[in-house]
Amino acid sequence: MSFDGLMMHHLTNEYNQVLVQHRVDKIMYLKDDVFIFELYYQKEKKLFYIDLHANDNRMYYTPYQEIKHDEHPTLSMLKKTMIRSQIKSIKQHQTDRVCIITFEKYDAFDGMMTYELIVEMMGKHANMILIKEHLILEAYKKMISETGRSVAYHLPFSFFPSPKKRLTSFDDSDVNREDLLITYEGVSKDLSLKIYNAKLSPYNIALKPSMKGNKRFSFEVEGGSVFDSINDMMQTNHQIIFSDALLTQQIKKRETKLPKLIDDLRHHQSHLNDYLIAEKLYTYENPKAYVDHVEEILLDRELSVHEHAQKYLNTYNKAKRAIPHLENQIHETQSEIDFLNQLIFDLHEKNMVYDDILSLLYEHHYISKKPTLRKVKPKKHLEVIVDGHIIFVGKNANINAYLTHELSRPNDYFMHVKDAPGSHVICRAPHESNAFKTALKYAAYFSTLKHASKIEVMVSLKKDVKKIPGMHGSMVSVKTYHSYMVELDDEFVKLCESL
């Protein structure tokens, strides 16, 4: 989980130093359970995010920027009560994963009004509840229960009941216990292991916010990224490492299909001469006869010569219709395998995030279920100037398509490694110039062949490169090209590794 009681303790302390006295000027909603409060204090604006997504509960603030936002029913009451209010305090409820943000607002009729925003960071049960004088005014997730806690308009508010001890009452003698998770409020599995292994009480563990994979910690973990503050960590998206299993599965399906298509093609091609046999049988002196053979053509006595002729003509016509279709299917299947291999390359090289890959797979009908995607800042292409000449390098399938079909000019040079996934490189430099030779190296390095001793790179004029119909724009056909064998020196490899 992203939150435990110790992390909430440190986070509320941090926010009390930074956000108290800020005025709420605007409240917005983003899809995927995110609310944003636009805050103002001493001529400076901030955006305060409350993310209630089940897989990644978090709160954080960022410098101000324009945000495109959506509407949500909860916004109406939040705006009515909280716009122009001021944050007076931010505190933790007991030692749980619950934050209480207190706001004050002056009303011309009722005087100073006090509201509390209860933010419960509890995984799939995460919620945000607005209360006044212990009564619920609004809640993001409303629920009625006959046996448990109810959250609905004008009902008295109560916190989740907890039979556990508060973490503040932690006894140093408990550091050797293995049941801390079920004994103390706000203790996660990771925190209990840290206490047990470090032999330290929770509030004596050094605060070093860190992330490892899809987990956040208030303490340093081996192999994790360390941040200066919990807020910096909270605003950093999960560093999720995705498996290429889905892509590999898609490739395997097509690699199984391809030999069958090739066998079918060969079968039909073997019948292209059947019309000659049919012609010979049709011109036989007695087409209605039942014979063993006509010249060198062996026949079945169960069928007449005419029936044999018709049979051969049918197989010829069937082959004639099937061959173009099979050739097209083989070409499409091989192109799909090449495209999926390119996506695996982009994933392994971190050129493309997994969400963008899922989006491409859905868009091009490789998967049927529309994925739920996180907002991710797109990557840009690489631009290099050598002796005044520009080189463009694509860093993933989407950027490859953009460079080749939108940014490039007809007489630019298009470069790509032969028969392997890699970047599209567009070069605007004279042939055999230093920039041209450098572009060849970029095409060789940004590919799956970069560790080979010699790498074959295709070079063509852009006007001879065409998009394959029905395929993603990164998949192209090249009318004519020249091949260059490229060797990568250590100095150039180090340069590329630094980009």
Q: How far is 48 from 52, CA to CA, in rounded Å?
A: 13
**Residue in the block written with tokens 């090449």:** 338
Nearest alpha carbon to residue 210 among 233, 185, 238, 176: 233
pLDDT of residue 374: 54
pLDDT of residue 109: 86
Task: Provide the 3-class DSSP secondary structure of residue 1.
Answer: coil
pLDDT of residue 427: 97
DSSP bridge pairs for 132:
135
Query: Using one digit for the tens of pLDDT, what is the confidence trace for 122-169?
Result: 988 899 999 999 999 999 999 888 888 999 999 999 998 889 999 999
pLDDT of residue 238: 60
pLDDT of residue 240: 46
For residue 146, with 0-12 CB atoms within 10 Å meaning exposed, 13-18 middle and 19 or more buried, which class applies? exposed
Burial 96-110 (b: 16+ CB within 10 A, else e): bbbbbbbbebeeeee
pLDDT of residue 315: 95
Nearest alpha carbon to residue 393 among 444, 349, 450, 462: 444
Domains, in order of start, for the chain = 5-139 (2.30.310.10), 167-234 (no CATH), 245-348 (no CATH), 382-497 (no CATH)
Q: Collect all residues with Cβ–Cβ distance below 8 Å to 212 and sequence separation of at least 6.
A: 221, 223, 224, 225, 239
pLDDT of residue 358: 87
Question: Model-level pTM?
Answer: 0.53
Positions in the chain whose pLDDT score sits under 50: 240-241
**Residue type present at position 378:** P
